[in-house]
Structure formats: C-alpha cells, structure tokens
Amino acid sequence: MIELHKLRKSYDGGRVWAVDDLSLTVRPGEIFGFLGPNGAGKTTTLRMMAGILTPDAGRVVIDGIDMAERPLEAKRRIGFVPDTPEVYERLTGLEYLRFLADVYGVDARRRRERIERLAGVFELEPALGDRIASYSHGMRQKLVLIGALLHDPPVWILDEPMVGLDPRSTHELKNLMHEHAAAGRTVFFSTHLLDVAERLCHRVAIIQKGRLIACGTLEELRAQAAAGSGTLESLFLELTHHD
C-alpha cells in the first residue's frame, strides 16, 4: 500500500513547483498507472516515493511506514526502478546483482533462486557473465528491473519500466505485474504508453503541472470527461488540454 499526503516539491528555490499538493492512495492488489505530459512531475513524485528526494511538504507512507520517520524500513519494502538507471559499467551483470543482494541482505539460496527466475524470465542469463559496459539499453533496463525485484519487495515503484524493452520482455513484465498484484501486493508505475495502461491498470492517475487532475478506473475517468465513452488516450488528450 502506498499513501501520498499533500506532497509538494519545488526546484530552484521555489520558482518551479514540480509537484503541488499531491494526495493519492494505492491499495494492496492494485496495478496503478501514473500518467501525465512531459514535465508534469511524475519522476519527481516517484523519486519522493522511493525516498531519494525529500519532499518540501507532505508525507509518503509505504505499507503504513512513514518514509521520513523510518526511511530504512520503508525503503526495504520498495523495489524502485528509476527512469535513467545508474549501473556500474565495470561490473558483470551477475556481480551487480550479487552486490544488490548483499545490500538488501538476501541470503545465498534465495538470491540464486531469484536471479535464476528473473534472469530466466527476461532471457538475460547468457549475458550475466559479461560486463555491463557491453550491454544494450534494453539489457541494462532488464538488469535494473531484476536488481530492483531481487529482494522480493511488496511495493513496486517503476519509472517508465517498459522503455527499451523488447515485446517479449514487455509481455513478461506485464505478467510479473499481474502476478504481484494478484498476490495482494502493489504495483505503481509511470508510463506514456496509454494503451498499455488502459489494459493493465486497475486505476490510473493523471497529473499536469504537478497537480492531480484525474484519478480512478477508466469508467470513473470517463465520467469526469465530456466525451464520456472514449479510450484512455482520448480522455488523456481531453483532460490535459493546453491552457
């Protein structure tokens, strides 16, 4: 479960409000899509949710744990995939995953199982012995995903996780998301892929200029819009119209 209470974040000493009074709750068992135009504040929100950026005001609560009060406990419950992942180029894929397993205290048997399963799903096993410097963009994205999910966190926070993935890996990631939510856990991800969000998500939120402008199921969003029967794409275009 994720709760955001009146989150605010500015850059440049308050000249830009990247996120402004954002509140929402993502329930256990939900796949939740976070949508918005470029520069709307999605990455800033996700980075605050993951405890990487400190909000100017408001609270992030993960499974009942306040990020500001108990950051280590809250972060342990999160698998976070950033939009531009930093990886250690000199390590092999396997060394990188072992390093993360050490950080998260995943024991030897469990890490073997998880690496085998996830690298198998994303067909990255043959490359795990190679240096990350030799990886393609998509291979890096897969490695970062595997690393983020290695400690089997209950709450997934993924910033545009499908960017760079090939169709099979995208399909497998969607399956993993379904499986995770079906087990009563939580998936929160940002995306520009509205057709994917429409099919995959139980609920979505749309933000614009840091403010929540719509939140709910597709039916609930349709009820908010003038053209009441449209696709998520047409709703998005209508709701995020220019001033």
Ligand X SMILES: Nc1ncnc2c1ncn2[C@@H]1O[C@H](COP(=O)(O)OP(=O)(O)OP(=O)(O)O)[C@@H](O)[C@H]1O
Q: Return the closest-CA partner of residue 62 out of 17, 93, 25.
A: 25
Chain centre distance of CA 99: 22
Only one of the segments 33-41, 51-59, 148-156, 179-187 lies at the binding site for ligand X (rule: CB under 6 A); that segment is 33-41
Half-sphere exposure of 92 (CA within 13 A, CB side): 10
To ligand X, the closest distance from the beta carbon of 240 in angstroms equals 11
Burial 128-149 (b: 16+ CB within 10 A, else e): beeebeebeebbbbbbbbbbbb
7 sits near ligand X (criterion: CB under 6 A) = no
The size of the interface with ligand X (CB under 6 A), counted in residues, is 12
* Residue with Cβ nearer ligand X (13 or 167): 13
Residue number, 6 or 90, with CB nearest to ligand X: 6
Interaction pattern, residues 34-73, with ligand X; x per rule: CB under 6 A:
--x-xxxxxxx-----------------------------
Sorted by sequence, the CB contacts under 8 Å of residue 4 that are 6+ apart come out as 22, 23, 24, 25, 45, 49, 58, 59, 60, 61
Single out the residue of 3, 5, 8, 16 in contact with ligand X (rule: CB under 6 A): 16
CB of 179 to ligand X, least distance (A): 27
Q: Which residue has the tokens 């894929």?
A: 93
CB of 5: closest distance to ligand X in angstroms? 19
The verdict on 12 binding ligand X (CB under 6 A) reads yes
User: Is the separation of the CB atoms in 150 and 118 below 8 Å?
Assistant: yes
Nearer to ligand X, 4 or 18 (CB): 18
Q: What is the DSSP letter of 163?
A: T
- Residues that bind ligand X in the complex, under the rule CB under 6 A: 11-12, 16, 18, 36, 38-44
